[in-house]
Structure 1
């Protein structure tokens, strides 16, 4: 995936994904202020999410901000998938719906050959989303964090999907 190529707008059945911008800062702050949303995540400055790889997700029916998705080139045809949604939208299939749409766009028009995603081993919800997106568990590994989050003693997991696996599914 050419890092200069940016996915513009992606439409799914229920979502519109568009590049995050300065007008989204208040929504990002509200999302990141929820301790349950951030339970398995380290806080980062909101400005970090205004880069070329982050997409605001809005519900088509209501135009409400659902959360964000990340689809970031990390080199050699590999893109990293990430997502963070408001709790009100958990369990509705939005994370998998948005993730699948970005994966499809990456494989069909973005030059992506492999998609990867990581989370804490104990983050069962995120692992389910990865599996629903077609990613498969690749490895469990341990990281020495300066300030480990509860559950980090169980490690991190990496999931991945190649273009060939996606095409044959």
Structure 2
């Protein structure tokens, strides 16, 4: 499924995207709150990330990984993902995203996240969407809040190699009932929110 927003085209990831994903994950600033700045090896992206994402899209649970392209010029700006936790038994999806530094500050993370909330809740079995980040990652926390998510948990970290990890990791969530209530309120107010698009 291809999804378009005012600024983005989100299309399913494929094997032809490996080089762009490797380049994205090679930027220490992009990877700061993911791996302490260490790049993701190409083999991990080729052998695990892309195949898992393709399988998630095929599962019909509402999950998958979408490459984000700038709608104005078709340039790769990053990716968004919805995935079921590997060992989870609840009807939930985890929202993740990663954008090139050149795309930061344009509202793209919020726009893509809000749009994927709609995709997630279009799947009838999805009870909640959650996302997590390091507590010190204020930019990502703002994206989660602007996407309608609420802070639900703080987990203390034990990864001393990543600066800021000692402050812990936060988890945000949006439950189906809250999403449906928000959609109703926005529809009554005549909002053009991405969640109702």
TM-score by length of 1: 0.89
Structure with the bigger RCO (C-alpha within 8 Å, sep 6+) is 1
Rg larger in 1 or in 2?
2
Q: Is the 8 A contact 1:20 1:49 kept in 2?
A: no
Q: How does 1:1-169 map to 2 (within 5 A)?
A: 8-42=1-35, 43-44=39-40, 45-47=44-46, 48-50=48-50, 51-52=52-53, 53-74=64-85, 75-109=89-123, 111-145=125-159, 148-169=161-182
Q: Is the 8 A contact 2:136 2:164 kept in 1?
A: yes
- Three-state SS of the structure 1 residue aligned to 2:116 is helix
User: What residue ranges of structure 1 are gaps of 5+ in the alignment?
Assistant: 1-7
Runs of 4+ in 1 over 6 A off after TM superposition: none
Higher strand share: 1
Moved more, 74-83 or 116-125: 74-83
Separation in 1, partners of 2:18, 2:91 = 30
Count of matched residue positions in the alignment of Structure 1 and Structure 2: 161
Higher helix share: 2
RMSD over aligned CA atoms reads 1.4
Note the C-alpha offset of 1:110: 5.1
TM-score by length of 2: 0.77
Separation in 2, partners of 1:129, 1:76 = 24
